[in-house]
Structure 1
Amino acid sequence: MAKSPQQIAQKLASQLQAGQFGAAAKLAKTATKQFPKESHFANVAATALINMDRTREALPFFAKALQLAPGHEEYQNNLIHAYIVAKQHEKANELIERFLPTRKDASKLLHLKAFSAQLQAKHEDTIVAATKGLEQDGPLQTTFLEMRGMAYDHQNDFGRALEDFDQLLEIDPDNCRALQLKANLLLDNYQTENAIALLENALDRHPKDCGLLTAMASAHFSQGEVESAHTHLDEAMKINPNSSETLILLAKSLKGDVLQKYMPKAQEALKAHPKGSSGWCNIQFALGHMYFASRNYQAAGRHYEKANGGLSKLEIHRQEAEDTKFEKILAATPAGPCEWTEPRDGQPKTILVVGQPRSGTTLTEMVLSSHPDVASCGELMNGAVAAKQFIDADLEFDPKLFESEYTGNLPEQVLHHPAFVDKMPSNYRHIGMFLHGLPGVRIIHIERDPRDVALSMWKERFKADGLRFTNDLVHIAQQANLYRRYMRHWEKEFPGQFLTIRYDDLVSDLEATSKKMAEFAGLDWTEAMMSPERNKASVRTASVVQVREGVHKKSLGGWRRMEEALRPFNKALDRDLWPELEW
């Protein structure tokens, strides 16, 4: 006897609740044909397909459900969400704008708008949508505060990000996600003591929260407290063995037989994350690290390829924008050379460490900031902010305006030292502006074999928007070529006005190289600069683990271990720009 629509609907509800998505999709598709005017079945078919990570197949079913019930708000939301997940953001936003005037409560549509912008790294659009959402009186207030705070964080607006996370915690003091976000914000801004105090308090109340334990481990790593970090990671793994953030930290910091025991756990955790998702990519990186550490480079390459392949679809890089920026920066920068100057009275000396990401800039910073007169400031965005107005707004370069923008928002630790290090690698783009606009600046450029740099970048999961190119070996090569064009231009315009150090020399003869850097920076060399691994300065870059190992030469020429995997990079590297390389 044929079942009624009500009986089929009850069966579908049971299947969805039990996680039987394949069976639900099959039954719902059949019911859609049997009862073509019942919008519910089309919606259930699409929902089941979405849960099976078959978004594109789900789209026509969501569209059919909405066609049958055009005023149904849940169906409207479902179709928009599916378009966003399918990366069809333009269609999603067209529907949002169409439905907004019809809603008494626009919270859900504004959330979808903010979500779409967030996935595209359109941080200003995320802020606008979330701010409008906060004007609605609905249940999504904490969600909007979280999204807006994260967007402010991406824009390096520490004050506004902290304000949103604090407001979120006022509404919901036990929101572990918000506590983790605030702690990471504090860590990224070198307020390590405040971050650890926050996490200790949070873990007293929520001792079994995996995210808080992983954040505490990250805090301990930044301070070089590896044993304490591993204790927290082990506890996090007991609570949630599928945590991709925990697994990737373990994989980067453990070695040998201890690491091998986590390989089956990582393989099992992979099944808990949809293919191509951020968590799935993290675990692919973790497996790559594990195989690399066990010297199975072929297997490591396969996992790194999967990880980066997934990320390149989630995080789009546009190389043409970088090429345009190159032309704009050169046009906005006055010709060199320029006069040597001293810092203004009362101002600390700025020491910039620049180069490609993963070229040794963190190690160099740790060597320099081992000197008692030098503060470590990590990677400051001040340079990019100071330069932006002359690049994007087409203002004529004004040295005093550049200086005021750069020095106007320096970290507090700068005030207590005669000098500080800003090791933002990408400041190599603005060398000319720094030399013209910042009195007393000393710039140390770290140069490393681009093939070793490429391997090191390809093995890492970077979260910064400006490092999306690292998910594709061809893009890494294009960026390497562009970097070399920048440096050739600055070397021609400003000969002898910045110091280039070879990474090979830094790790092969640290004493001679550190003395050379100290002399150039106007520092009296100290023996402490020979032991950067003992430096207690906080590290929040991808080198957080390696820099505590001490100076070594193990990575020199390491690209040859994975030469086959790096073939797309080597093919795209411009040999005319890199004539010194031996192949």
Structure 2
Amino acid sequence: MTELTIDQALQQGVEAHKAGQVQEADRLYTAILKAQPKHPDANHNMGVLAVGVGKVQEALPFFKTALEANPATAQFWLSYIDALIKLEKLADAKAVLDQAKSKGAKGDGFDKLEQRLKDAGQEPIKGKQVASEPQLKQPNILDTLKLDQAISLAKKKAKDGSPEEAKRIYQDILTKFPKNKRASDGLKGLVGRPVGKASKVQEPPQAQTQALINLYSQGQLQQALQEAGTLVQQFPQSAILFNIQGAVLKGLGQLDASVEAYNKALAIKPDNADAYNNMGVTLQEQGKLEEAIEAYNKALAIKPNYAEAYYNMGNALKDQGKLEEAIEAYNKALDIKPDHAEAYKNMGVTLQDQGKLEEAIEAYNKAIIIKPDNAEAYYNMGIVLKDQGKLEEAIEAYNKALDIKPDFAEAYGNMGTALADQGKLEEAIEAYNKALNIKPDFAEAYGNMGIVLKDQGKPVEAIEAYNKSLAIKPDYAEAYNNMGNALKEQGKLEEAIEAYNKALSIKPGYAEAHRNLSLVTKYNSDTAQISEVKALLQRTGLNDSDRCKLLYTHAKMQEDLGDLSDAFDSYVAGGGLRQTLLGYEFTQDEHLFGRIKQKVPQFKDVALNVTGKPITHTPIFILGMPRSGTTLVEQIVSSHTEVTGAGELAYVSQFGTKLVAGATSPTLKAVSVFRERYLTELAKRAEGQAFVTDKMPHNFRYIALICAAFPEAKIVHVQRNAEATCWSNFKHYFVSKDLGYSYDLRDTVKYYGLYKDLMHFWSQSYSDRIYNLDYDKLTEDQESETRGLIEYLELNWEDACLAPQNNKRSVKTASQQQVRQKVYKGSSQAWRKYEPFLGGVFDGLEAY
């Protein structure tokens, strides 16, 4: 049997650990430590294993060794301090925390540990609610009464023979107003006064109540529940004890029992606003949103300036989809408590759900100003920035979240998605793995890793990742949907349909799965999905993104059924929504094309001379308008044994856009660095072949950059019938956000004009570098056109290039089914059946 290296053993140990195979993980970590006793990761992971099985004391030496070996790793400090607190070695924990902070450790994790230490040290709890945690604090009479009313009540209790209750009221007053003479004198008058027969102590001593709150705050819920039960037997009329018991039971997941405890608190003290608020939180977790809102309203009727109740009500209203009402509730919380960072943060999430992205960012920034270490606010801001296409800024926001909270698995997960959108697929995989090291049961990280593996042309590994996500989360509809996409790219249509249907069985209103299923289905009037989609479109409260996808689904269905008028109306409505969601204006593209032309002289000045420098993998750029036949051409070319098809790579467009926007200057150094990075990425996809295709259609905009950076590259410009190209652009829903023009027929025609004008412009300077291929001629005379193409590429002829349908590579574009069929004629005339509905919009194409 082959002996494992240390790294291999560690990787296998981590995998076993993730899978819950404790004995196997222990065996592998032990083997590593036998070879390298001070290996930091193995020591740390052994400590984590020990804590996981309740052997916290045994974990300490492992954590200590890990720290000594690598004190720069924040998680090692966090694990060690947490274990010391669990063992109630508070002085040691405080010393280690101080040591960590002296070495620069900071962030949410350390702040929480510091708070746990303070709580354990019997410092008073402030009762601050974060993320809808129950409000637990010593009750104070001034929460519900004004000062004069409280003093009057204390005097009445003393007179009526209830001196203990009078004492508690005076003590409450002195807690908030230590120099209040009336309360001080009243309390002195009660000292030594005998308790009357009618008086009975209803509340436990403050120290016992606070100790119970501390147990709850430290997460020692079972012990807290046990001690609360004991105290309740001694003080059966204590509302605060039942309130605490309710919070503990909620923490243990015993939600019905939690509500029962809060009701007992309210039976004793009907004006207990905290109990109503906390009951609302539990009801909300049960999904009983109306009852939760009713509880919050009762809390507010008792205590009108109760910021936390308004905040929690905002959360419940948001869960109901009542976004405007939720924002109103958050604003009321902020009117009362302007420094409520969580209210700003959750308002940001709500504004984000409304599509008000700039306002969402403003809310997150306010949350961060109040609480600079608010990792969740940075994380949410990253999501908004990504939605806006600001990927670098999104990644920066995720990094800030991780600086504060190094164990923030979700931030690593979303960073992976942003990196993937940048085309940095290896870095994306690395980010997902970091997320999984922190949170081994992170189903979404496996799911998103599957998408990246699919984009890397690794469909088998992608499906394996989807299966891992589903093993963790069997009702993960998105994983089934994405698995369907991977199967579809391989041409396994029956399996893809099965996967989409599984997604829809879990989530019947899943618009993206409906749309994907429509792309692989030929509909007839008996297909059940048709009525399902119609019902969804009639649903009130359907968000614009889902409505848009369902309109495209409905259009495909009606086209199959022959109702072209309904299909056309749905394409128009869906496209209008998509343009609105993207915030697209045609002037954006007009400006871009103008800037491209202005930059051409600079590109010529920085053209590289690579004579005598052999290239390992020569790029073949296949470009033109989207839907012009670039996928078929790539399928033909990659059928050759010396060529690998890499699909649509984003690198040229990303760098070109930066240059055109002025974010980067086109210098020799910048172009040289771009060339090396691009060729490095190309090599990862080359599969050992000398030529690699990049069929990003919009690379036609950056031909000057391609010619400057890659003198040896081949450029194939694919042209197709103008009407067919424009119609095919218009009728497709593109996942990419870069085709905003395509969702309006007039914008599509105008964009086609920009494209033709730019290609004419390139022909004046780079005609010797560009091979023009006519798609329609290719379908009419396949062999002649294919031979001409292969000759231009300086490849030896291979008959396989005449049978692209036999090419088994994954195809990710909208043409993935078409290219698995034999090349056929007439596809460029398919638009004509819609001609009666077009209103002559294509007449303007004659000018091009």
Asked if 1:538 is matched to 2:810, the reply is yes
Give the whole-Å Cα distance in 1 for the aligned partners of 2:831 and 2:320. Answer: 38
Question: Is 2:576 the partner of 1:309?
Answer: yes
- Of 613, 633, 638, the match for 1:364: 633
Q: Within 5 Å, which residues of 2 pair with 1:139-178?
A: 141-178=408-445
Say yes or no: does 1:110 pair with 2:378.
Answer: yes
Would you say the 8 A contact 1:355–1:446 is kept in 2? yes
Q: CA deviation at 1:19?
A: 6.7
TM-score calculated relative to the size of structure 1: 0.84
Aligned to 2:343: 75
Q: CA deviation at 1:167?
A: 1.2
Shift of 1:222: 1.5
CA contact (8 A) 1:153 1:161 kept: yes
For residues 103 and 129 of structure 1, the distance between their equivalents in structure 2, rounded to whole angstroms, comes to 15
1:385 and 1:405 in contact (8 A); partners too: no
- Give the Cα–Cα distance (whole angstroms) in 2 for the partners of residues 5 and 309 of structure 1: 52
Preserved CA contact (<8 Å) 1:389 1:395: no
2:289/2:320 contact within 8 Å kept: no
Aligned residues: 572
Q: CA deviation at 1:35?
A: 9.3
Q: Whole-Å Cα distance in 1 between the matches of residues 372 and 766 of structure 2?
A: 61
Which one of 425, 434, 439 corresponds to residue 697 of structure 2? 425
Residue 33 to residue 85, structure 1, CA distance change in 2 (3 Å):
farther
Deviates more, 1:227-236 or 1:540-549: 227-236
* Aligned positions of 1:132-531 closer than 5 A: 132-137=400-405, 141-203=408-470, 209-257=476-524, 260-270=527-537, 274-334=541-601, 345-385=614-654, 387=656, 390-391=659-660, 392=662, 393-396=664-667, 403-414=675-686, 416-531=688-803
1:2-41 equivalence runs, <5 A: none
Structure 2 match to 1:553: 825
Q: Which residue number in structure 2 is paired with residue 126 of structure 1?
A: 394
Native 8 Å contact 2:401 2:411 kept in 1: yes
**What is the distance in 2 between the residues matched to 1:426 and 1:285?**
23
Q: Deviations over 1:414-453 (max 9, x none)?
A: 2622322211111111223323432332211111233322
Tell me if structure 2 keeps the 8 A contact 1:342–1:440. no
> Cα gap change, 1:76/1:385 in structure 2, threshold over 3 Å: closer, same or farther?
closer
Instruction: Look up the match of 1:64.
Output: 332
What is the Cα deviation at residue 244 of structure 1?
Answer: 2.6
SS of structure 1 residue aligned to 2:815: coil
Deviation, structure 1 residue 33:
11
Q: Is the 8 A contact 1:274 1:280 kept in 2?
A: no
Question: What SS does the corresponding residue of 1:410 show, helix, strand or coil?
Answer: helix
Kept in 2, the 8 Å contact 1:352–1:422? The answer is: yes
Cα drift, residue 402 of structure 1: 5.6
1:397 CA drift (Å): 5.7
Alignment partners' CA distance in 2, 1:548 and 1:343:
40
Query: How large is the Cα RMSD of the aligned pairs?
Result: 4.0
CA-CA distance at 1:273 after TM superposition: 9.1
Q: Which residues of structure 1 form unaligned runs of 5+?
A: 579-583
Q: How far is 1:104 from its partner?
A: 7.1
Aligned equivalents of 1:401, 1:465: Cα separation in 2: 27
CA distance in 2, matches of 1:541, 1:165: 25
User: Separation in 1 of the partners of 2:686 and 2:814?
Assistant: 23
Judging changes above 3 Å, is the alpha-carbon distance between structure 1 residues 32 and 489 closer, same or farther for their aligned structure 2 residues?
A: farther
CA distance 1:418–1:79, shift in 2 (3 Å):
closer
- Percent of residue pairs identical: 23
Q: Give me the whole-angstrom Cα distance separating, in 2, the residues matched to 1:481 and 1:312.
A: 19
Q: How much does 1:106 deviate? A: 0.8
Asked whether the equivalents of residues 617 and 679 of structure 2 are also in contact (C-alpha less than 8 Å), the reply is no
- Alpha-carbon distance between aligned partners in 2 of 1:16 and 1:304, rounded to the nearest angstrom: 40
Contact 1:444 1:501 in 2 (8 A): yes
471 and 174 in structure 1: CA distance in 2 versus 1, 3 angstrom threshold: farther
Supply the AA of the counterpart residue of 1:290.
M
Q: Structure 1 residues 401 and 163, CA, compared in 2 at 3 Å: closer, same or farther?
A: closer
Q: CA offsets, 1:135-175, max 9 Å, x none?
A: 23488x12212221111111111222111111112222332
CA 1:289 to 1:62, structure 2 compared with 1: closer, same or farther past 3 Å?
same
Q: Mark the CA change 1:394 to 1:108 in structure 2 (over 3 Å): closer, same or farther.
A: closer
Q: TM-score, normalised by structure 2?
A: 0.60
2:360 matches 1:96 = no
Q: Conserved in 2, the CA contact under 8 Å of 1:473 and 1:568?
A: no
Distance 1:100 1:387 in 2: 34
Measure how far apart 1:354 and its partner are: 0.5
Contact 1:354 1:425 in 2 (8 A): yes
CA distance in 1, matches of 2:637, 2:801: 6
Amino acid at match of 1:132: K
SS in 1 for 2:692: strand
Check whether the contact 1:511–1:530 (CA below 8 A) recurs between aligned residues.
yes
Q: Aligned AA for 1:465?
A: K
Deviation at 1:207, TM superposition (A): 5.6
SS in 2 for 1:420: strand
